[in-house]
Amino acid sequence: MKVYTVGTSSAVPTSERGLAANLIDFNGERLLFDCGEGTQRTLMKEKLGIMKISRVFISHWHADHFSGLLGLIQTLELEGREKPLYIYGPPRTEEFTERILDTGYFNRSYDIFAEDLVEGEEVIGEDYQVIPFEVEHGINAFGYVFQENDNVKANKDKMKELGLGESPKIGELKEGKTVEWNGNKIEPEQVVETVPGRKVVYSGDTSKCQNLIEHAEHSDLLIHEATCLHEMISDRRGHTSALQAGEIASEASVAKLALTHFSRRYRGKEEELLEEAKSIFEDTELGQDGKMFDLSPHRPE
């Protein structure tokens, strides 16, 4: 599973950074989280073909988070896409998507389905779910949890020990049921191991918020906005400083923090943001456009 920070500038792009976008590449499927201006070109540079994008999750409808959507929709048409594209987001996502589709003249070879989500409403995919949660940004705004399904496996050695061999009962044990085998009762815990799925959380735009800390708990990677240094945060309502992003990562006990959504005021000085976050949470990296974070599968507990 590979995660990319695709666009890492806030509000206005710079020559080095496009507007907000992140991509999860999971089992050959690509999920896009926000689609700011510049998203397509960065994906092309990284050879991340856009045709594999199945779903787009918009964190909120500020233009720096969706301004690349019209271009993406158009390119998919020109490339002859046939399979549908799903667009999810906070309330009014359906309405805003319809307006984008009603802008200018363009054809479409495929269907677009837009859906307004509410907090906690899971979008179920092949072996994963995406769960929106509310954040604090002054308008309807979500962060998202990407959660890979847990992998429930039978331990072959333990099965042998219990004389289960290739027993058909294994399916029931995996479902958590107690079974009878050769006159003995076997509990699922005796044979079944659960490997927890990987978890990635994206903050969208938000001030430091408890709901996010709770949803980000124990994630493998937290992609969090860090619009400015802490000294500026009182001027940036609805946003987070690098220091606060570090606090959030620490309070949520995440494995790694990737910073994104930098104000152009820090152009060329992004290291200052990194240092500030690192003073609280060591395992922090700066997001760059096209930077990849490789998350290997967990081992059995």
Q: Count of H helices and E strands in the chain?
A: 9, 18
State the nearest-atom distance from the C-beta of 259 to Zn ion, in Å: 14
Active site residue 283: no
Question: Token pair for residue 67?
Answer: 């301004």
Which CB atom, from 177 or from 267, has the smaller least distance to Zn ion?
267
> 């509410």: which residue's tokens?
118
Q: Residue 37, interface with Zn ion (CB under 5 A)? A: no
DSSP 291: E
Tell me the C-alpha distance between 131 and 226, whole Å: 22
CA dihedral 174, 179, 182, 183 (to 10 degrees): 160
State the nearest-atom distance from the C-beta of 62 to Zn ion, in Å: 3
Which CB atom, from 135 or from 154, has the smaller least distance to Zn ion?
135
Q: Are strands 291-294 and 2-7 parallel, antiparallel or unpaired?
A: antiparallel
Rule CB under 5 A: choose which of 17, 30, 55, 62 binds Zn ion.
62
State the nearest-atom distance from the C-beta of 64 to Zn ion, in Å: 4
Candidates 21-29, 76-84, 182-190, 205-213: pick the segment binding Zn ion (CB under 5 A): 205-213
DSSP 175: T
Which CB atom, from 239 or from 256, has the smaller least distance to Zn ion?
239
DSSP 16: S
> 């493998």: which residue's tokens?
220
Q: Are strands 184-186 and 221-225 parallel, antiparallel or unpaired?
A: unpaired
* Amino acid identity, position 62: H
Q: Using CB under 5 A as the criterion, what x/- string covers residues 71-110 for binding Zn ion? A: ----------------------------------------
Which CB atom, from 115 or from 136, has the smaller least distance to Zn ion?
136
Question: Token pair for residue 169?
Answer: 């009962």
Which CB atom, from 62 or from 81, has the smaller least distance to Zn ion?
62
Question: Which member of 25, 64, 220, 289 is catalytic?
Answer: 64
Q: Residue 205, interface with Zn ion (CB under 5 A)? A: yes
Which CB atom, from 57 or from 128, has the smaller least distance to Zn ion?
57
Rule CB under 5 A: choose which of 64, 220, 247, 276 binds Zn ion.
64
State the nearest-atom distance from the C-beta of 225 to Zn ion, in Å: 7
Tell me the C-alpha distance between 86 and 48, whole Å: 18
State the nearest-atom distance from the C-beta of 171 to Zn ion, in Å: 47
CA 160 to chain CA mean position, Å: 40
Q: Residue 134, interface with Zn ion (CB under 5 A)? A: no
State the nearest-atom distance from the C-beta of 149 to Zn ion, in Å: 31
Candidates 64-72, 111-119, 147-155, 270-278: pick the segment binding Zn ion (CB under 5 A): 64-72
Task: Give the count of residues interacting with Zn ion (CB under 5 A).
Answer: 4
Tell me the C-alpha distance between 189 and 70, whole Å: 50
Question: Token pair for residue 81?
Answer: 């896409």
How long a stretch of residues is the chain? 301
Candidates 39-47, 61-69, 171-179, 193-201: pick the segment binding Zn ion (CB under 5 A): 61-69
Beta strands, E only, the chain: 2-7, 21-26, 29-35, 53-57, 85-89, 112-116, 123-125, 128-134, 142-148, 151-154, 179-181, 184-186, 192-195, 199-202, 221-225, 257-260, 284-286, 291-294
Active site positions, annotated:
64
Q: Using CB under 5 A as the criterion, which residues of the chain lie in contact with Zn ion when the complex forms?
A: 10, 62, 64, 205
